[in-house]
Chain A
Amino acid sequence: MQFAVHRNVVLRAGPLRRWVLIGAASVAVVSGLSGCSKSLPPDVAAAYERTPTRVRRMSQEQYANTIAYIFGRDIDVGTPFAPLRRTDGLLAAGAASAGVTAGELQQLQRSASMIAAQVLDKGSIEQKTPSRRDYLVPCKPASETASDDACARAFIQHVGRLLFRRPLEQERLQVLVAEASKGATDLHDFYAGLGPVLEGLLIDPKFLLIADVTEPDPDDPAKRRLDAYTLASRLSFFLWNAAPDDQLLRAAESGEIHDRAHLERLVDSMLASPRLEAGVWAFFDDMFGFEGFDNLAKDPAAYPMVTGATLRDAREQTLRTVIDQLVIRKADYRDLFTTRETYMSPALATVYRVPTQPGWVPYEFPENSARAGFLTQISFLTLYAHPARSSPTLRGKGLRERLLCQIIPPPPPNVDFSLLENPEAEYKTQRDRVNAHLQEPACAGCHKLTDPMGLALENFDGSGRFRDNEHGNPIDSSGNLDGVAFKDAAGLAQALHDHPELTSCLVKRMYSYGAGSPTSIADRPVLSYLNERFAKDDYRVPALMRTIALGFAQPLIARRSDAGSSGERRSETEEIQIEETQTEQTVTALNARG
């Protein structure tokens, strides 16, 4: 099947092409949710009230998606942003603390210049470039070689509103129109006058920083709430990974977005939009740590069948599976880890050793296949492995940290690991190799957390290819996950499916993603509430997104930025910690062996 929209694919709105909001009647896809503060348990409502306001830096993808929505997908935006720092398991959570450096602003200026040139390009028949100005500027100037304040105003007002996610202030608008007029006069070119103005909008902090703005809550003078435009931005960046579209801004302008019933209809229609796929795609790409694919390569001597195309497709295969299972079929989130259904491309078929057709096609692994769910897809198996061999430790660590929200401590310093490695020894299998760690008390503390489940994936080498032996030695793929024993990867998949922290981890990550910052201890009542709702909704992800989205409208107390700077909000992360004393014992014991 073909997806209507994939990552970075967004629809365009503008004077000629407007996004048509899908009617609420057609989207009764998720269960009803109260979300109303009056019906929330007091501790949950109180926790919502304490959520701080934030200033988030836009991500590269949000920037690209927003430009694509306003000006079209064919606009090249460059890559001006620094990657966000992974914080509490998510890149998106780093947005609340990311700064914009001088070097980054220079890159953003270059991108702005490039974008403005494309938007205002008059086109060329010889060079086969389109005249974008004809449809992206909503009017024709009286003369192309002179200023036209009315037309400049129309363009700046339209674009400024979509970029700033709220109407431009009149004073600023007047200044910008005057700048455009001066430029047009100096350069004898109306469109050349618009260029620097558009560039200025594109490097403005009101575009690049997503700042929460609050206002008094009319229902309770002691409380505040996100203002209508901030609420629209929260919804849009969360559900679509892009700035609000024209329709959403209209709902903010009219104030309807603060009406509970209208908000619910709005959220439902956003969930039913094809643009949801881009939002879900971005979330899982972040949660699964797929930015690691940006620089992933396999040793061609060890895995000649793995090329750059294989790894690109591996990432896409998983995300296509996510969209199909969770968005289109609205399957139980846990089934993502056991399903045999996926999509296949020619580059992947070589590694999976299955027949396929050109392009992406639906594919289901047979019942007797060793493949079942995300853990047995090439994406997970290659990302959490070495360039030339598998790694039970990295796979176990990836599983715990990415899917169960646990943290595996790094190896202790000042330990000579090579003391455990007998250069004379030839380990027959990876199990033999890691058993050296598991049998060593000082190492077992950490390795027992990762290796038993990682070893269950040993039937797949570092390229994700199936194998039933390693150097001629049979592979034992048995293992256990937190007390649940299994004999192979399918058993691991089922154990993960049934693990209670699988769903609570998704809730934590998705809530954090929606807020654009890490969770804290103060968020626990909200997380408990969301976990409860998620279970009642049969672990359907769109339903969870709906609950989280409606929570953005909850009343707040005081100024959130003040609360955010206090020391109250300690990290909520539950870590599997090796006690410091144990670490010291590890160091002492290992060094004593030297």
Chain B
Amino acid sequence: MRGGEQMSKLTRRRVLRGVLDGAAVSVALPLLNCFLNDSGTALASGAPMPVRFGTWFWGLGMNQDIFVPKKLGADYDLPEEIISLAPVRKHVNLYTNFNCFRDAAPNLCHKTGWVIARAGIAPMTTTDLPGETIDVTIAKKIGGMTRFQTLTATATGNVRDSFSYESANSINIADWSPVQFYAKLFGGDFQDPNAEEFKLNPRVMLRKSVLSGVMDSAKDLSKSVGAEDRQRLDQYFSGLRDLERQFDQQLTKPEPRPACVLPSAPKEEPKAGLDIDLVTLRHKMMTDLMVMAVACDQTRVFNMAYSQSAAATSKSGYDKPHHTASHEEGVDPKLGYQPQTSWFIRRAMESWAYYVEAFSKVQEGDGTLLDNMLIYASTDQSLARIHSIDNQPMFTAGRAGGRVKTGLHIDGSGSAGTRLGYTAMKLFELDKGSWGTQSNGTSKEIGEMLA
């Protein structure tokens, strides 16, 4: 089916070929009412709606007694720590009683849990970074058709807060500035998929031509370095290939996207800092931009970090940031939990609800953007107070193009949490017999979530 979309592009390219020859041209293209098929289930070309994969991260887990619903399956109850999910519950699955297994590896505080959830591997040291994270694996399968193979953003304002890794030494850095993120997405190189005219940029053709020399340079350099460095050069070369693909796309009229409406540019940056109101504002701004980046088909794989793993989110007038509070705040004997720590988690869940709702508000075909995606949300601990990674909660949102049931609370019976990542990979038709290492290795999908 993806082949159909590819064919339509080739056809258009064939039409355009021969009239370019280095000069800018304009080609009249269909209007918006022709963008979808008659039933609204596919693009005008007959290609199906693309299914996207997204992630969301929050730090410092949960308080089980007030986070985990008592009821399993549909219409699950919403304990006080996740009460803010009420407007989006029908879109969200909550997965509890799944485990991260560290086997012989140490329990590295605020690291082991998220690395297992995202890469299926228990790291051995604090500098032992994950190999390829799940978003990158899926992007290799579905990200080749868009301008950006993945987009990664953070609400912390810190470029380092990313949970997306291409390899142990290669982090996909986070876009942290709403102003810069807007410029990256919708600035000079953006091609409005719904524009009536397609103007070919001859400079892009020249860039592509020059790029072959850069690739030769990478090959040349690769000959004179050792094995480890050669791997880094291979990665570089692969990145150049991606760039070439991006240039090709800029030379191709994009498929019209009715859901794509250019957002207005942010006027100014939120102030620096991790005060929760600033983080919430930044999260909202980055989410709104990310939603349109997906709606405009600039990417099909996207990541958002609400906080870093040992979240340092702070609350004005309270002297401990979230992480410090999780260790130093006393448990209220009447409530049975740490009230300030829980307050931070509740605010995180409000932002998770905002994230889900933002995608659900965009109409696409006969459904919403959210219907055509799967968002996977994970954390770094279960009970942060003791750095526990047992029963780390996870969420998904979206129906993945009708392949996933939503609105469910699913109990994992203590099985590996990597089953969710594995299921996601299968949903995106990755040919993987299993995912994860040692006890986190699994080849068992979560059947309850599959439609």
Q: A residues engaging B (CB < 8 A)?
A: 53-55, 79, 82-83, 85, 87, 94, 97-107, 109-110, 172, 175-176, 179, 182-183, 186-187, 192-193, 195-197, 199-200, 203-206, 209, 211, 213, 294-297, 299-302, 308, 386-389, 410-411, 413-418, 421-424, 559-562, 564-565
Q: Which residues of B contact A94 (CB under 8 A)?
A: 169
Given contacts A200-B211, A294-B158, contact A99 B166 (CB under 8 A): yes
Let me know if B107 and A413 touch, CB within 8 A: yes
Q: Which residues of A contact B77 (CB under 8 A)?
A: none
Q: Which residues of A contact B206 (CB under 8 A)?
A: 179, 182-183, 186-187, 193, 195-196
Q: Which of A55, A87, A199, A559 has the most CB of B within 10 A?
A: A55
| Interface status of B179 (Cβ within 8 A of chain A) | no
Q: Which residues of A contact B314 (CB under 8 A)?
A: 297, 299, 387-388
Let me know if B385 and A106 touch, CB within 8 A: no
Let me know if A204 and B167 touch, CB within 8 A: no
Let me know if B324 and A415 touch, CB within 8 A: no
Q: Which residues of A contact B316 (CB under 8 A)?
A: 299-301
Q: Which residues of B contact A103 (CB under 8 A)?
A: 148-150, 152, 172-173
Contacting residue for B203 out of A83, A195, A200, A389, CB 8 A: A195
A354–chain B nearest beta-carbon distance, Å: 26
Let me know if A105 and B242 touch, CB within 8 A: yes
Contacting residue for B274 out of A79, A200, A387, A414, CB 8 A: A387
B136–chain A nearest beta-carbon distance, Å: 9
Let me know if A187 and B158 touch, CB within 8 A: no
Let me know if A101 and B320 touch, CB within 8 A: no
Let me know if A196 and B235 touch, CB within 8 A: no
In the bound complex, what is the Cα–Cα distance between A296 and B274 (angstroms)? Answer: 8
Let me know if A100 and B274 touch, CB within 8 A: no
| Interface status of B271 (Cβ within 8 A of chain A) | yes
In the bound complex, what is the Cα–Cα distance between A411 and B384 (angstroms)? Answer: 13
| Interface status of B2 (Cβ within 8 A of chain A) | no
Q: Which residues of B contact A388 (CB under 8 A)?
A: 314, 318-320
With both beta carbons as reference points, the residue of chain A lying nearest to B188 in the complex is identified as: A113
B43–chain A nearest beta-carbon distance, Å: 25
A392–chain B nearest beta-carbon distance, Å: 13
Q: Which residues of B contact A98 (CB under 8 A)?
A: 169-170, 232
Q: Which residues of B contact A209 (CB under 8 A)?
A: 221, 232-233, 236
Q: Which residues of B contact A423 (CB under 8 A)?
A: 329-333
Q: Can you list 27 A-B pairs with a CB-CB distance of less than 8 A?
A: A82-B159, A82-B173, A83-B160, A98-B169, A100-B235, A101-B235, A102-B243, A172-B217, A182-B209, A196-B206, A199-B207, A205-B217, A297-B272, A297-B274, A297-B314, A386-B319, A386-B320, A387-B314, A388-B318, A411-B109, A414-B387, A417-B327, A418-B385, A423-B329, A560-B226, A564-B228, A565-B228
Other CB < 8 Å A-B pairs besides A55-B225, A386-B324, A415-B387, 15 of them? A83-B173, A87-B127, A94-B169, A98-B232, A109-B207, A172-B213, A187-B206, A197-B210, A209-B221, A209-B232, A209-B233, A302-B317, A387-B274, A413-B109, A562-B226
With both beta carbons as reference points, the residue of chain B lying nearest to A184 in the complex is identified as: B206
With both beta carbons as reference points, the residue of chain A lying nearest to B112 in the complex is identified as: A413
In the bound complex, what is the Cα–Cα distance between A204 and B217 (angstroms)? Answer: 7
Q: Which residues of A contact B96 (CB under 8 A)?
A: none
In the bound complex, what is the Cα–Cα distance between A365 and B143 (angstroms)? Answer: 59
In the bound complex, what is the Cα–Cα distance between A94 and B127 (angstroms)? Answer: 11
